């Protein structure tokens, strides 16, 4: 488990820091994919992921090709998007 400082979101207590990695084949084969992005500091990454090219340099960009992906964004992380 990596050492990190959990940050509480939406007034909830902090949770254990951990992440799960999926490969592109798993993301594309999934029956559904749910992504929640709550912070402004993620705005540039959200823009690059959704409006940039699908590229190995931005693995999450493969979600552009997953028709059943649903992204839930607060106003701040979606603030840089042109196509909303």
What digits encode the pLDDT tens for the residues 6-61? 555 555 555 555 555 667 777 788 888 888 888 888 899 899 989 999 988 888 88
The confidence score (pLDDT) of residue 53 equals: 94
Going by pLDDT thresholds of 50, 70 and 90, the confidence category of residue 1 is very low
Work out the pLDDT band at 76, boundaries 50, 70, 90: very high
Q: Residue 3: what pLDDT?
A: 46
Cα distance between residue 84 and residue 80, in whole Å = 10
Cα dihedral sign, 40-37-10-2: negative
For residues 16 and 61, give the distance between their C-alpha atoms in angstroms, rounded to a whole number.
Answer: 26
């Amino acid at each position: 488990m990596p050492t990190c400082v959990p940050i509480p979101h939406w007034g909830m207590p902090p949770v254990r820091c951990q992440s799960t990695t999926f490969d592109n084949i798993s993301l594309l084969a999934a029956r559904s994919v749910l992504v929640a992005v709550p912070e402004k500091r993620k705005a540039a990454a959200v823009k690059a992921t959704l409006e940039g090219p699908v590229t190995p340099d931005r693995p999450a960009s493969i979600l552009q090709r997953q028709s059943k992906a649903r992204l839930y964004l607060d106003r701040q992380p979606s603030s840089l998007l042109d196509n909303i």
